[in-house]
């Protein structure tokens, strides 16, 4: 199994992390607050990530990718997450939810048509799973796709869909009920829907608590007609396929969360060294020093968890439990560290001009998206035999 021990990564991973870290500090960080304040999508940053090949990191070169692996993506997400979670989730969703389903389950024709655009970052893909009545209970999908000759006709709605309404969004993969089995249980399939298809509509962007520079919309499908060959994978196996995508995505979200947790540590250390109270730097007080020490411990433990899950995944071994653990501990570390960092900064931590304030607003969704904390606990309990 690939050695992904913290502190002893192979050179290619170390160099990638450094390159993305430099990009995050010099390109992402200077504009993050403005995009967050204005609720604008950072097209110039996305173009920069595209030029670096980040959207193609885990894909083969034959499809326009960089020939790397999923752990390389995770390292990039961690570095981006330190300074701007909105940018990090744009990359994560573009790769894990946009391009990866096509790569994992698509026909060769589908891969040739879509992957070069998606892996280049010149186009974004999204995955339409969540509905008003089907979130954690994705099996409660109400969107339907009916076969009509050589076409599928889709009707329904989705909500909270990332990367679904940008100027460069070209594809949404939609889960829809395509039939019923003998017991009457819904058979859910995945279908590729180009965003220029008549009847497809992205509603107004959400007014969110955080991730304000990330693109998120509700979607409606009104008699959306696509060719029958746009079925992704086997008919009736769309939900099962997406569960695998979610398992992988939890490792990626954990990496993003670790970045957020570490970003809070870094900002707090800097502030504690510079801020003086009662004639001394506040970092010399044990109350502050110990709080930051616990923050560092949380980030380290969460990083170790996602490294372990990624190593199992790359080795082709079962990793469902480890991915759930990584997502659980990393998302909680990010939220706990954001709260502590805000406290350390005092009144300044409540001002949006400080990065920790943005982390405080951004981090909560990490305990909800791509499987809530409760879902992770359920999965872990099942994996230990309960």
Phi then psi dihedrals of residue 42, to 5 deg: -85, 70
Residue 370 designated active-site: yes
What's the number of CA atoms in the CB half-sphere (13 Å) around residue 86?
30
Beta strands per DSSP E along the chain: 124-128, 144-148, 151-162, 169-180, 186-194, 200-202, 216-227, 231-232, 276-277, 280-281
Instruction: Single out the catalytic residue among 79, 234, 370, 374.
Output: 370
- As annotated, the active-site residues are 370
């Amino acid at each position: 199994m690939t050695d992904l021990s913290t502190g002893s990564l192979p050179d290619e991973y170390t160099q990638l992390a450094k390159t993305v870290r430099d990009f995050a500090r010099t390109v992402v960080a200077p504009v993050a607050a403005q995009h967050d304040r204005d609720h604008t999508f950072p097209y110039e940053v996305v173009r920069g990530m595209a030029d670096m090949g980040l959207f193609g990191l885990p894909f083969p070169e034959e499809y326009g990718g960089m020939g790397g692996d999923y752990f390389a993506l995770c390292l990039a997400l961690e570095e981006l997450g330190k300074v701007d979670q909105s940018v990090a989730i744009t990359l994560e969703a573009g790769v894990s939810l946009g391009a990866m389903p096509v790569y994992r389950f698509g026909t060769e024709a589908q891969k040739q048509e879509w992957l070069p655009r998606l892996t280049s970052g010149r186009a974004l893909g999204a995955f339409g799973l969540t509905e008003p009545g089907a979130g954690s209970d994705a099996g409660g999908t109400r969107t339907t796709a009916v076969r009509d000759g050589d076409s599928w006709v889709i009707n329904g709605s989705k909500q909270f869909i990332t990367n679904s309404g940008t100027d460069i969004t070209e594809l949404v993969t939609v889960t829809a009920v395509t039939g019923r089995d003998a017991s009457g249980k819904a058979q859910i399939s995945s279908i590729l829907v180009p965003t220029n298809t008549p009847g497809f509509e992205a509603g107004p962007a959400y007014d969110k608590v955080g991730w304000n520079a990330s693109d998120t919309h509700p979607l409606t499908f009104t008699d959306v007609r696509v060719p029958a060959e746009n079925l992704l994978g086997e008919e009736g196996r769309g939900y099962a396929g997406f569960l695998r995508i979610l398992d992988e995505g939890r490792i990626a979200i954990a990496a993003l969360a670790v970045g957020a947790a570490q970003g809070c540590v870094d900002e707090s250390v800097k502030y504690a060294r510079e801020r003086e109270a009662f004639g001394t730097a506040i970092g010399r007080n044990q109350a502050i020093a110990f709080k930051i020490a616990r923050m560092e411990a949380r980030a380290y433990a969460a990083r170790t968890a996602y490294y372990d899950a990624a190593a199992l995944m790359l080795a082709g071994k079962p990793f469902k439990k480890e991915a759930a653990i990584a997502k659980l501990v990393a998302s909680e570390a990010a939220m706990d560290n954001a709260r502590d960092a805000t406290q350390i900064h005092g009144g300044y931590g409540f001002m949006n001009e400080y990065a920790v304030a943005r982390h405080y607003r951004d981090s909560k969704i990490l305990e909800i998206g791509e499987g809530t904390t409760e879902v992770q606990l359920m999965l872990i309990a099942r994996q230990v035999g309960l």
